[in-house]
Amino acid sequence: MQINLSKLGKRYNYEWIFRNLTYTFESGSSYAILGRNGSGKSTLLTTIAGYNMHSEGEIAYTLEHKALAPDQAYRQLSLTAPYLELVEEFTLLEMLQFHTRFKPLRHQLSHLELIDRMELQRAKNKFVKDFSSGMKQRLKLGLAIYSDTPLLLLDEPTTNLDQEGVAWYQEHVAQNQEGRLIIVASNIQHEYSFCKHHLLISDYHNSSRK
């Protein structure tokens, strides 16, 4: 997938979060959206995902050299973020069964194989509400990384993960880069160390004062 941003801007009330952002994300590459806390990284990521509507400018999506309607982009992406909720009344296995009704898994993985890859075998029949914060984050990451989507969006992906969990994240995102566009919003180097391109969101703050 390729994404073209043209003079993109987003504001809340009278405050511009970013403005005049023109940038191209190329298929098969990895990008980091960088900036301090509160600088607009998550806002840009969710705007690209279609979860937030932009205030001005355009976003154009291309999939396999064909234009993709913006209201269909969500079918081609997977997103994980600290503010996204899981269905806590489900067991882990039920959560996977529900999720894969909408987004099949990469490599034709079975539910049990994904549970193995997330190293959550002992929690297979455990309710998500009883997971630790680290287990919930690993589940979110597993669902996003292993969904069969050409666009992977990761917002602060190692939130609530310990050192072992960070190593797990780095290993599994590395194994699932091929043929995808990956965009990471972060200010922590170990979350985006694999990204070849960096977009500094503060570069689009000064223009918002025009």
**Residue 114: C-alpha distances to residues 155, 163, 196 (Å):** 21, 21, 27
Q: What is the pLDDT of residues 111-126, one digit of tens each?
A: 999 999 999 999 999 9
- 156 has pLDDT over 90: yes
Task: Read off the pTM.
Answer: 0.95
CATH class given for the domain over 2-209: alpha beta
Quote the pLDDT of residue 90. 98
Quickly state the pLDDT bin for 57 (edges 50, 70, 90). very high
Tell me the per-residue pLDDT of 71-124, one tens digit each, with 9 for 90 and over: 999 999 999 999 899 999 999 999 999 999 999 999 999 999 999 999 999 999
Which pLDDT score is estimated for 207? 53
